[in-house]
C-alpha cells in the first residue's frame, strides 16, 4: 500500500509541475516548436537516469522515478505534437523535434546515469 501511495503523491506533484513548466516554456518561447514538452521530457530523462544509477532507497525511487517523473514526462503528448506538426506540413520542425527528443533524451539519461553512478 505504501508504494501505491508514493506513486500517487509523486504523480500528483509531477503532473502539476509538468503543467507549470509546459506553460512557462510556451509563454517564454512562443514558436511552432513544442518547447514545453521537449523541456519536461529532456529534464525527466536526465533525472530518471540519475535516479536509476544513484544509491537511493526504494521509496525515493518509487516516489520520484515512478510517480513524479512518470507524470512529469509525457510520451503521448510528444507523439500527438509530432503528428500535429506533420498535418500542418511542418515536416522539418517535426523531424527535428523527434530527433532531439530521442537523441538528446537518451544522451541525457546516460549523463544522469553516469553522474549518479558511484
Annotated binding-site residue? 70: yes
Contact at 8 Å (CB) between 102 and 38?
A: no
Domain count, the chain: 1
| Whole-angstrom distance, CA of residue 30 vs CA of residue 15 | 22
Q: Which cell is 107 given? A: 544522451
Enclosing domain of residue 83: 2-116
Is 14 known to sit in a ligand binding site? no
What pLDDT, on the 0 to 100 scale, is given for residue 1?
66
Write out pLDDT tens, residues 29-52.
Answer: 888 899 999 999 999 999 999 999
The residues of the chain scoring below 70 in pLDDT are 1
Contact predicate 63/9, CB 8 Å = yes
> What is the pLDDT at residue 29?
86
Amino acid at each position: 500500500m505504501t508504494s501505491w501511495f508514493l506513486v500517487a503523491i509523486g504523480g500528483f506533484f509531477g503532473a502539476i509541475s509538468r503543467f507549470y513548466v509546459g506553460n512557462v516554456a510556451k509563454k517564454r518561447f512562443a514558436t511552432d516548436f513544442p518547447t514545453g514538452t521537449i523541456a519536461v521530457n529532456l529534464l525527466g530523462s536526465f533525472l530518471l537516469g540519475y535516479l536509476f544509477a544513484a544509491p537511493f532507497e526504494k521509496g525515493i525511487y518509487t516516489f520520484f522515478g515512478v510517480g513524479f517523473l512518470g507524470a512529469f514526462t509525457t510520451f503521448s503528448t510528444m507523439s500527438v505534437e509530432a503528428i500535429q506538426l506533420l498535418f500542418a506540413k511542418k515536416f522539418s520542425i517535426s523531424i527535428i523535434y523527434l530527433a532531439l527528443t530521442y537523441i538528446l533524451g537518451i544522451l541525457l539519461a546516460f549523463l544522469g546515469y553516469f553522474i549518479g553512478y558511484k
